[in-house]
Homo-oligomer: A and B are copies of this chain.
Amino acid sequence: MGPGKVNEDLVAERRKCTFDTQELTYIIDGGKEETQKRHEVENIVTSIPELQDPIPEEYMSHKEKYENAVRRACYVTKALKNFVIENATKPGPSNRYRSAEAATKDVTPMALHFSMFLPTLLGQASPEQQEKWVPRAVNMEIIGTYAQTELGHGTFLRGLETTATYDPTTEEFVLNSPTLTAYKWWPGGLAHTANHCVVVAQLHSKGVNHGVHPFIVQIRDEDTHMPLPGVKVGEIGPKLSFSTANNGFLGFDNFRVPRDAMLMKNAQVLKDGTYVKSRLSKLTYGTMVFIRVMIVTDMAYYLSVGATIAIRYSAVRHQSKPKENEPEPQILDYVTQQHKLFIALASSHAFRVTGQWLWTTFVKVNKALTSGNADTLPELHAVACCLKAVTTRDAASMVEACRMSCGGHGYMTSSYLPILYGITTAACTYEGENTVLLLQTARFLVKAWEQAVDRKAMTPTVAYLVGAGDQRGAWSSQPSGITRGMQQVAAGRVRSAVEALQKHVKSGMAYEDAWNAASVQLVAASEAHCRAVLCEVYWTETERLAAASSRELGAVLKQLAELYLVYWALEKGGDLLLYSNISKTDIAYLRDRYEELLSLIRPNAVGLVDAFDIRDEILHSTLGAYDGRVYERLMEEALKSPLNAEPVNQSFHKYLKPFMQGKL
C-alpha cells in the first residue's frame, strides 16, 4: 500500500456498490450544474498556493492560530470574491459556498461578515443606508460583524443593557456600556478583525426607552486599525472549538455615532428625536428564520462529513476474531457499528431535504409578508424553531457517535472529528438556545391544540392534531404507517402537556408558573412534533426523489429513509405504546426490520459517503481520506509535531532529571 494507492478494502467496497454515486451527488447538490459549479469553486480554493501552513494549526499557540487564520481567510476570500458577490444576491441553501468555506479547518474570523453583518444590512438598513454600506461590505473594503449578545444577556433580548441615547443637539447617538454585564460578548471576528459592527442597543430618545434597535458602528480606524476612542474591544479567550473565530468583547464609553448609524428600514428617529415606530416589525423575524433554515442545512453537511470519515475508517479498520479461522473482519461488518453510523448517514439526507422544504416554505411566507400577510408566519416560526433545535442536537450527538465509533483514533485532532463536534455542538446554543426554542414551538402547539379541540381550520404542519385521540386506526409498520404513528405520538404528547398545564392552572398557579412546572413535558411535546414533521417530510420527499431516479438509486434512497423511520419508531417505542395502537409484536417486527435494513445498506455504505463528494482538502481528516491510507496519514501527521523535532525536550534537563535525582 504505497502513497497514492487506494486501500484495497475501499477498492472492494466501491466495486460492490449497487448504484451510480454520481447520480446521487447531483441530487445532493441540487443538479448537475450545481455540482460542476461547486467543483469549480473547490478547484480555485484548493489551488491557492498561499494556503500552505508552516505547521499544522493544532500545534500553534492561540495567537499564532489567529494570525494563520487571518492569512488564510484573506487569500480564500480574495480568490472567491466573484462567487461571494454572486451569492450575496442569491441566498438559499447551496453546497457550493459551504465547501469553499470549509477550506479553513475551523471557523474563519470573517464568518459573521457574510452570515450576519451583510444580511442585517440588507434586511434592516434603509435604501439610502444600503447604498452607503452594502457595496463597501460586499467588496470587503470594510469587515463587519454583528454584536447582540452581552456578557450577562443572551436569550432575553429585551434585557440587553447597552444604551444608545439620542442627543438632538448634535444629532448623534451616544453609546454606553453601563455595567460589566453590558459588554458585548461572543461576536465572531469582533476581537481583532472587524472594523465595523452592527450593535444592538436600547434606544433612548426624549427620555423614553424604545427598546432594542440595530446600529451600524465603526469601531476601528480603517487605516491604522486602532480601536476608536471610547471603544474597548478585545477577545474573549479559547473555546471548545471556534479557536480561530476571533470571538470578541466590546464596551462603549460615551461613544458618539451619527443619527444615520441607526438602521432605519423599519423604525426611525427623526432629527428632533421623535421616534417613529416600525410598521412591519414582523419582517425582522425574516432574518432570524432565514438563519435557522441555513442551520438545518449546515447540520446535514456536518453529518455528511462525520459519516464520510467514520464509514471509510470502518471499512479500512479490522479488529477482533469472532471466527478463529478467519481474518479479523472490517469493523463496518459489526452490526453495532452499523447501528451507530447508518443513522448519521440517513439523518444527513433527512436534514438536507427538510432544509430544502423549510427554505421553500420560507420563500412563500416571505412573499406573503412583503404583501402584508403575516398569517403563515407563526407556523413557519414554530417549525423553524423546533427544526433548528432537533437537527442541531441530533447532528451533534450523531457526529459524536461517529467520532467514538473510530475508537481512540477518533479522539485525535488529525481525524478532524473533535473539531467537527465542537463546531456542531455550538449550533445547539447559538441563534436561539435549543430548550428555549422548543418552548417557543410549544407555545404554538398549545394554541394549535386548543384550535384543534374546537375543530377550527389548521395550518398544514399541525393538521394532524385534529381528531387525534378520537380513533387511532390499526398500526402499520409501513413507512406511511410509522409517519402516522409519530403524529399520534406528537398529538398524545401535546395533549398530555396541555393537560399538565391546565392541572397546574386549576390548582391556582399563575399561568407562567404552570408553564414552568409543565415545561419538561412541553419540551417533549415540541420534540415529538418536530420528529413527526421530519419523518413526514423526509419520507414524502424520498418517494418523490426515488420516482425521479434510476431504479437502483431509488431503492437505496428508500432504504435509508425507512431506516430513519424505523430507528425513530424504536427510539420512541414507549411513546408509541402510550399513544398509538402499536403492539408488542409490532415492536418485535420493527427490531427485525431494523436489522434487515442495516444489512441492506451495508454493501452501499462506502458508495453512499463517496456520493457526498467531499474532497480530502476539505475533509481535513487522516481517517476519512478517499484513499483510506489511515495509518500512514496518522503517522505522517504525528511526525509534524514540533515536539518530535527534538529527541529530548528541554524540560528534561530543567525539571525531569533534577526531579528524578531528588534535586529539584
A-to-B contact residues, CB < 8 Å? 58-64, 66-67, 70-71, 74-75, 77-78, 139-143, 149, 151-156, 158-159, 180-181, 183, 185-186, 191-193, 222-227, 234-240, 242, 249, 318-323, 328, 333-337, 339, 400, 404, 407-408, 410-414, 418, 421-422, 425-426, 428-430, 433, 435-436, 439, 496, 500, 510, 512, 515-517, 519-521, 523, 572-578, 584, 587-588, 591-592, 594-595, 631-632, 634-635, 637-644, 647-652, 654-662, 664
Contact = CB atoms under 8 A, between A and B. Distances in A.
A98 B654 CA distance: 27
A236 B64 contact: no
A607 B534 CA distance: 42
20 contacts: A59-B63, A60-B62, A61-B61, A63-B643, A143-B660, A152-B631, A154-B407, A156-B328, A181-B631, A183-B635, A192-B652, A193-B656, A239-B411, A334-B516, A404-B428, A404-B429, A411-B429, A520-B595, A574-B574, A577-B578
A528 B640 CA distance: 45
A318 B61 CA distance: 35
Contacts of A235: 638, 641, 643-644
Nearest to A236: B638
Contacts of A227: 647
Given A335-B520, A433-B407, A520-B335, A191 B239 contact: no
A646 to B, nearest CB: 9
A180 B632 contact: yes
B74 A418 contact: no
A468 to B, nearest CB: 16
Contact of A648 (B192, B516, B641): B192
A58 B577 CA distance: 49
Given A149-B408, A237-B413, A336 B520 contact: yes
Given A151-B631, A239-B418, A643 B191 contact: yes
Contacts of A584: 578
Contacts of A634: 151, 185, 236
Given A141-B660, A151-B631, A664-B78, A323 B408 contact: no
A515 to B, nearest CB: 7
A412 B237 contact: yes
A493 to B, nearest CB: 11
A140 B70 contact: no
